Amino acid sequence: MTSRCKGRWEDRGIFNVLTCTKHTSKLQLIAVKTPPPLNSALCNKTNMKLENYSITSDFISIEVDGKVFNLHDDYNFMKILYDVAAQKLTLRWVKSKRDRVPQDLPENLMLEFTDVSLFKCKERDPEQPLSEDYCLGSLGFISKELISEIEGFSTNEESDNDDHMNLSFMSGFAIKIAAKNSRCMLN
């Protein structure tokens, strides 16, 4: 692979990443290596179905019944609840107290995942302030073949390809989920 970017290559498992030091945008070029064999116990066929919401094309919001909820600007991430026996994961956001947040938004927004077959987290960057744990950076789907990649995504749409959902936060904390169903609850 040739590039006009100048920087350093870093081995990240199934990826090689070039971080460009020439451009100020900190462009990263990713070259995918041959993926390792998958652990079938972790990657059961899920075909995750988003029951009552969709991920918007900005990768920071979800849409429920025609209304968009911005999880980056208007909500603070607060809680992870994982029920191992029930294979259920709930992620909870609460409405931000900032002045510019629309007053008519629900106070709580929860994403519930059922029949969870994969739940994986990446630690936060200790150099980031704790306030960055509240702020979603992106959410989207990524191919199940990229099981070790926890921060990237390729699409905002569910598919029949057993893709995993990745959620990344501004602190570097990230979550990867494979589940049969997910729904949004507002209150």
Residue 43 lies in a domain: no
Question: Which residue bears the tokens 């030091």?
Answer: 21
Instruction: Tell me the residue range of the domain where 2 lies.
Output: 1-34
Residue 130 dihedral angles phi and psi, to the nearest 5°: -60, -30
User: Taking the model in full, what pTM does it have?
Assistant: 0.74
Residue-level pLDDT at 34: 38
Q: Considering its fold, how many domains does the chain have in total? A: 2
The answer to whether residues 79 and 167 belong to one domain is yes
Is 85 or 10 the better-scoring residue by pLDDT? 85
- Whether residue 100 has pLDDT greater than 80: yes
Is 70 or 142 the better-scoring residue by pLDDT? 70
The answer to whether residues 23 and 59 belong to one domain is no
Q: What is the pLDDT of residues 14-23, one digit of tens each?
A: 444 545 454 4
Residue-level pLDDT at 40: 42
Strand locations in 13-148, DSSP E?
Answer: 15-20, 28-32, 49-50, 54-55, 61-64, 67-70, 75-83, 88-95, 108-122, 136-142
Residue 122: which H helix or E strand, with range?
Answer: strand 108-122
Is 98 or 22 the better-scoring residue by pLDDT? 98
Residue 39 lies in a domain: no
Judged by average pLDDT, the poorest of 46-60, 73-87, 139-153, 161-175 is 139-153
The answer to whether residues 6 and 96 belong to one domain is no
